[in-house]
């Protein structure tokens, strides 16, 4: 059974990501280490004791559509209400609407624990938090006053409606339409697919954020608007009114996250109300909806990265426990009676330590990204721009590296279980099935790579990424200066990985400057992995340097393993980026 690693989470937040320094510098108001510890401890308890025990039920029962109503797995309705009553939905929301105004770092740490407990359950709250962010940033004062208090409290949930059957990542060809009405409202018509928690009976209302196109809108993405469309209309006194003209047509049958209802939504077909068309209200300006939605999507991308971290942690815990309990053969040097636990066998140990390194590396990358977001909100001028660029640079890496790690670690978890890993009853397979969606949604990892290379590397004419690499080198210099024997060859290996990162970055920037975007994009995905591996090595080293009092030897050993076993891949990835474009272009003829 999953047990939230509260101490590890707190250590990474404070000493690797930078939370303690931000508190000491007065950047985060009255927040203290003691309050951080109390929040994390209770979040960990709830995730371990309340969420995790219902994960298997959610996987086996799944969400069901019965007579037009979505039925969630047994116990999930009470679980959600207890979660909302605990105030977890409001951690980072504005105090103006009942939120707690806490740093984003604490929320992503809590999200890790909810998702380790049950990714299917945690998806609903994640979408609500994103919807709150979008309405807070772009909604009118009237919309904020009417909808945010109950969305922040968790009394109402929220969704994000982008995708259509013919329009996935290319939203410019979407067909959902909006028609203006004289009273200032809009009527929404269309079909949306893959809508997470688009319908359920857990809360009395669901607030949908829907992208649609006005009749006179410009073509492409420049002509998309964003609308707030509630399941039930809300009266002026805040009470629930008539059913709006929208409904769930069907649920997707998925590889994993079975408990999460993934809906096909129909807007405006006349099923409800006196007039066809779902009633909606504009968020932001007409034809500027994509920019509003990206407020939600950027936060969602980091949240999806946390899903990768969460699966890594849960799968690793299960695999380690199994490897300690399962006996098979006699490992080299085994002196005990009978067969040895398989954790004593070198290849099993290799798999488990790899899982641990990828888990902690992914966690650090995501927490550092959240720290940059927080700092961008607590700074002005050039400092705010610096942190905003850092968050922008790290978001695609956090989303992609952590979710790829989730798939890899879950797969290694199955391998550790051997044949029993392929049997559903052990639970190892569920982590892989759940993990496999994360590299796909909220922008596939290939899209993240394209964003990283074409939009994020050129920030400040490439000087932000150059400055970041310089900061990373300072950690390696500190490793070398420490003279700690446990580091082994870590400094030299990290130096090499950062040289690979630096050389590849400059090559990509030169290709973009020369107008050779095709060559740069051909190497975008291997570059993204190279970046993530280099960060993993550096942040594991930073953690080892910081941990003077609690288990430094363990952190040194993990860092050394990663440096001497995993990070060397950056050299091969560099070669793929710099020299792979021509062979890819030639090989494309295979599919002509």
Active-site residues, by number, are 442
CA distance 197 to 142: 25
Helices (H), 514-590: 517-522, 524-546, 552-561, 569-579, 581-587
Give the contacts of 463 (CB within 8 A, at least 6 positions apart). none
334 touches 431 (CB < 8 A): no
Task: Give Cα separations from 309 to 67, 184, 235, 409 (angstroms).
Answer: 37, 44, 41, 10
Phi, psi of 88 (to 5 degrees): -70, -25
Choose among 213, 210, 214, 240: nearest CA to 228: 210
CA distance 291 to 280: 18
Cα dihedral sign for 353, 537, 448, 521? negative
Give the contacts of 438 (CB within 8 A, at least 6 positions apart). 304, 307, 308, 311, 403, 406, 407
CA distance 151 to 136: 11
At what angle are helices 381-417 and 289-325 packed, to 10 degrees? 40
Say which residue the tokens 């992995």 belong to. 529
At what angle are helices 524-546 and 346-377 packed, to 10 degrees? 90
CA distance 219 to 121: 38
């Amino acid at each position: 059974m999953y047990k939230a690693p509260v101490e590890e989470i707190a250590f990474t937040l404070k000493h690797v990501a930078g939370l303690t320094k931000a508190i000491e510098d007065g950047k985060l108001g009255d927040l203290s280490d003691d309050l951080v510890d109390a929040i994390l401890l209770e979040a960990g308890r709830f995730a371990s004791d309340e969420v995790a025990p219902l994960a298997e039920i959610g996987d086996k029962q799944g969400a069901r559509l019965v007579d037009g109503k979505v039925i969630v797995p047994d116990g999930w309705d009470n679980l959600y209400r207890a979660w909302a009553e605990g105030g977890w939905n409001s951690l980072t929301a504005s105090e103006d609407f009942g939120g707690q105004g806490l740093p984003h770092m604490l929320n992503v740490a809590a999200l890790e624990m909810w998702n380790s407990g049950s990714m299917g359950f945690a998806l609903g709250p994640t979408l609500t938090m994103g919807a709150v962010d979008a309405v807070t940033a772009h909604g009118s004062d009237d919309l904020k006053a009417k909808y945010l208090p109950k969305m922040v409290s968790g009394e109402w949930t929220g969704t994000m409606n982008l995708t259509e059957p013919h329009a996935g990542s290319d939203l410019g060809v979407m067909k959902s339409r909006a028609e203006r009405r004289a009273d200032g409202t809009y009527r929404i018509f269309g079909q949306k697919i893959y809508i997470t928690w688009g319908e359920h009976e857990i809360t009395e209302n669901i607030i949908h954020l829907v992208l649609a196109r006005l009749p006179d809108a410009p073509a492409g993405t420049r002509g998309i608007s964003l609308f707030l469309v509630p399941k039930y209309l809300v009266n002026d006194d805040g009470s629930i009114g008539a059913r709006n003209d929208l409904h769930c047509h069907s649920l997707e049958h998925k590889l994993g996250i079975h408990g999460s209802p993934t809906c096909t939504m129909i807007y405006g077909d006349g099923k409800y109300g006196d007039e066809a068309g779902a009633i909606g209200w504009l968020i932001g300006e007409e034809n500027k909806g994509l920019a509003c939605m990206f407020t939600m999507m950027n936060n969602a991308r980091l949240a999806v990265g946390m899903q990768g971290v969460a699966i890594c942690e849960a799968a690793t815990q299960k695999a380690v426990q199994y490897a300690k309990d399962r006996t098979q053969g006699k490992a080299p040097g085994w002196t005990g009676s009978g067969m040895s636990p398989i954790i004593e066998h070198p290849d099993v140990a290799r798999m488990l330590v790899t899982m641990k390194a990828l888990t902690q590396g992914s966690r650090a990358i995501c927490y550092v990204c959240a720290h940059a977001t927080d700092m961008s909100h607590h700074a002005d001028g050039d400092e705010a721009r610096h942190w905003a660029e850092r968050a922008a640079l790290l978001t695609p890496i956090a989303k992609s590296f952590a979710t790829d790690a989730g798939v890899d670690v879950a797969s290694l978890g199955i391998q550790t279980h051997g044949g029993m890993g392929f049997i559903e009853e052990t639970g190892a397979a569920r982590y892989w099935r759940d993990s496999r969606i994360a590299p796909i949604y909220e922008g596939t990892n290939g899209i993240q790579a394209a964003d990283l290379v074409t939009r994020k590397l050129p920030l400040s004419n490439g000087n932000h990424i150059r400055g970041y690499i310089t900061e990373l080198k300072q950690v390696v210099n500190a490793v070398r200066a420490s003279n700690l024997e446990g580091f082994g060859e870590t400094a030299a290996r990290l130096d090499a990985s950062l040289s690979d990162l630096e050389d590849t970055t400059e090559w990509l920037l030169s290709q973009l400057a020369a107008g050779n975007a095709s060559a740069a994009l051909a190497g975008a995905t291997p570059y993204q992995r190279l970046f993530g591996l280099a960060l993993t090595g550096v942040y594991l080293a930073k953690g080892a340097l910081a941990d003077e009092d609690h288990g430094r030897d363990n952190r040194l050993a993990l860092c050394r393993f990663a440096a001497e076993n995993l990070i060397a891949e950056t050299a091969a990835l560099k070669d793929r980026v710099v020299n792979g474009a021509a062979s890819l272009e030639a090989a494309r003829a295979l599919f002509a």
